[in-house]
């Protein structure tokens, strides 16, 4: 089974353009992250650099290896010039996994691999960006857009979405119901419908324990 994330335009007001960039993170059982996705990635990136520096400093014999740096493929976090975060990987592996090479990392030995998905896409990588079809521009029009998130590990019990940019038509002013634009999550615990602006916010959705 899987978790499905979708937004749809169901009304007649087309003046509000859809802007959606959501970072998908899969949280392992008993691990609750309280910080924003960007802060988590930045701190992990700094920790990787600190570890590499300590490994260099602890090497006593430098007669044959004056400079030695350890790069951990897929573990080192990096940032692209466009502002997205990714993982440092060999270029060919990034392409094979469906990623987007977004600049050099690891001293030029690797590429900063960014994962993005849009309408009809399937997320298999942690830290994937869910974007509207015209990203980085906004989308204007009717219809729906669905994204399926597959669990990377059976111990994952929670999906976290960090809304980097989120702008839909807001709810109607009387009953505050999302009649025009709707953002929905299904396949896990019951989740409320979202509309309006949620930039900088995040939501966590519990997945069923039987998901694979």
Q: Give the whole-angstrom CA distance, residue 171 versus residue 6.
A: 17
What sections of the chain are H helices per DSSP? 37-57, 91-96
| Residue 211 counted as domain residue | no
47 half-sphere exposure, CB direction, 13 A CA radius: 7
Q: Does residue 63 form part of some domain?
A: no
Number of domains in the chain: 1
Domain presence at residue 140: yes
**Domain membership of residue 192 as a residue range:** 3-57+70-206
Residue 117 located in a structural domain: yes
Q: Is residue 64 part of a domain?
A: no
3-state helix, strand, coil in the chain (%, to 5): 15, 40, 50
Give the model confidence (pLDDT) of 5-62 as tens digits: 655 655 444 334 445 556 666 654 333 323 333 444 445 545 545 544 554 454 444 4
Residue 62 lies in a domain: no
pTM over 0.75: no
Write the pLDDT tens digit of every residue in 74-109. 557 888 888 888 989 999 999 999 999 999 988 888
Find the largest Cα–Cα distance for the chain: 76
Q: Are 127 and 141 in contact (CB under 8 A)?
A: no
Terminal Cα-to-Cα distance of the chain (whole angstroms):
6
Q: Is residue 212 part of a domain?
A: no
Q: Tokens 């007001």 appear where?
A: 13
- Structural domain contains residue 29: yes
């Amino acid at each position: 089974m899987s978790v499905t994330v979708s937004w749809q335009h169901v009304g007649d007001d087309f003046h509000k353009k859809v802007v959606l960039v959501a970072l998908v993170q899969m949280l392992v059982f008993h691990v609750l992250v309280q910080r924003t996705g960007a802060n988590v990635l930045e701190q992990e990136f700094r920790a990787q650099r600190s570890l590499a520096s300590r490994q260099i400093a602890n090497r006593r014999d430098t007669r044959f290896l004056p400079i030695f740096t350890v790069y951990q493929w897929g573990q080192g976090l990096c940032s692209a010039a466009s502002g997205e975060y990714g993982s440092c990987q060999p270029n060919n592996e990034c392409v094979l996994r469906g990623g987007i090479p977004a600049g050099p990392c690891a001293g030029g030995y690797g590429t900063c691999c960014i994962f993005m998905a849009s309408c009809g896409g399937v997320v298999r990588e942690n830290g994937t960006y869910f974007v509207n079809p015209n990203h980085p521009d906004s989308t204007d029009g009717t219809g729906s857009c669905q994204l399926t998130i597959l669990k990377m590990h059976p111990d994952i019990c929670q999906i976290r979405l960090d809304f980097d940019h989120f702008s839909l038509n807001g709810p109607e002013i009387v009953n505050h119901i999302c009649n025009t634009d709707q953002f929905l999550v299904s396949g896990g615990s019951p989740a409320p419908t979202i509309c309006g602006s949620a930039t900088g916010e995040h939501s966590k959705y519990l997945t069923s324990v039987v998901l694979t």
